[in-house]
Amino acid sequence: MNVRDGEEVAGLLMKEGYALADSPESADVLLFNTCSVREHAEDRVWSNVGALRELKTRRPELVIGILGCMAQHHQETVFKRMPHVDFVAGPASLYDVPELIETIQEERRPQLAVARRRRPEFQQVAYHAGATSAFVTIMEGCDKFCTYCIIPFTRGREVSRPADQVVAEVEDVVRQGFKEVMLLGQNVNSYGRRRLDGPPTTFPELLRRVNAVPGLERIRFITSHPHDADEAMFMAMREAEHVCEHLHLPVQSGSDAVLARMRRDYTAEEYLGKIARLRRLVPEIALSTDVIVGFPGETEEDFEATRRLLDTARFDFAFMFHYSPRPLAKCSQWADDVPADVKHRRLQALMALQERIGRERDQAWVGRTVEVLVEGPSPKNAVEWTGRARDSRHVVFPGGPGLTGRIVTVQVREIRGHTLIGEVIG
């Protein structure tokens, strides 16, 4: 979501005559598009923005803005902590950024834009930073209110973009030459429940409509909530030939007690049942997940339940983090009672387990062929090119000019880290 937000702001500024700068020193405007999901992400923003004090002193005309969820979360606190920042704009105010910059340049006083209102409409912005894949927003906000999450407070309540608008933007990016789209939402499975206008459309129905767009080769989407991932979506993934064989389905914990405190609305058994059903319908599916370690009240028994779930689920990829309380989230009112060293030990154990499982699942691809959308030359080796398989695995192979944007077949010869190494055939 943040990447697409950044593209939208960049597109709006390009319409006003701006161009992307090569470095902070050469820029007239510096924007930080931020996330508040985890404390570490905010810490990096504070550090990076703080490092600009000297540059702002030398170039007082430079405009510095903080955008996104962190802006919505901290609001006036940003100016108190970083007085060299010129404006703060929350997710609902991103379309106002060009006007905010103009006001600052004219009046030279800080601007705060953190309206809780919904965006009046989903605007279609032509700029896409990727060379082969385009992000397309299908909805904003979230109604789940998981106890560890502040997204409903920073991005607002859920609202879906009309299906006709989504399809029109997909058609537009295909005309621009993109072969792949990534459909974006905080919980795509609830698409259509609260919409701006237009006839009701479910997410599986939207997948089928996007799948029918001429010239489109691949469809990805993120993120799904396990409670709402259902048979209809699984069948759409099976039957819509352009939907890629990858699903990111955050489990967060394998303990029913922890899941209940998180307000996730499913049990470990229900989660495992759903992914087992999906694997029967789509045998080549790759599954990825998120896990939070050390949630308030997590016992050794809870941790072992998570370890067992990972061992049973055998995810292809997993993103794991230790718990950190987020202000506004319900669980910030609870004691952070799992000691830091225990969180670290548990996290390291789960990461080691997933590393083994991931390597085993990667190794199963050696000797097989994969369809790869070529992204471009490798930044690490001038003679190698990179791309993504349909299941989202990273693939590297010898290549040459003219391959970017093409779909090629690669024979996998070996695994390097978690990257498939091979050769183009045919």
Q: For 306-345, how does the pLDDT look when each residue is reduced to its tens digit (9 = 90+)? A: 999 999 999 999 999 999 888 888 999 999 999 999 999 9
Rounded CA-CA distance 31/10 in Å is 10
Domain boundary among 113, 148, 170: 113
Number of domains in the chain: 3
* The residue count for the chain: 426
Bridge partners of residue 288, in order along the sequence: 248, 317
Instruction: Report whether the peptide linkage leading into residue 267 is cis, meaning its omega lies within 30 degrees of zero.
Output: no
Number of Cα atoms under 13 Å in the Cβ half of residue 415: 14
Are residues 256 and 323 both part of a single domain?
yes
What pLDDT does residue 120 have?
43
Please state the pTM of the whole predicted model: 0.84
Sign of the alpha-carbon torsion through 20, 25, 30, 36: positive
Here the CATH number for the domain that contains residue 143 is 3.80.30.20
What pLDDT does residue 12 have?
84
The backbone torsions φ and ψ at residue 121, rounded to the nearest 5 degrees and listed phi first, read: -165, 160
215 located within any domain: yes
**Over the stretch 183-236, which tens digit does the pLDDT of each residue have?**
999 999 999 987 766 778 999 999 999 999 999 999 999 999 999 999 999 999
125 located within any domain: no
330 located within any domain: yes
Are residues 213 and 276 both part of a single domain?
yes
Residue 254 has pLDDT above 80, yes or no: yes
Domain boundary among 342, 363, 384: 363
Are residues 273 and 327 both part of a single domain?
yes
**What residue numbers bound the domain in which 25 lies?**
2-113
349 located within any domain: yes
Are residues 297 and 191 both part of a single domain?
yes
Are residues 100 and 140 both part of a single domain?
no
223 located within any domain: yes
**Over the stretch 21-69, which tens digit does the pLDDT of each residue have?**
888 888 999 999 887 666 677 888 889 889 999 998 999 899 999 998 8
Beta strand pairing status for 133-137 and 111-113?
A: unpaired
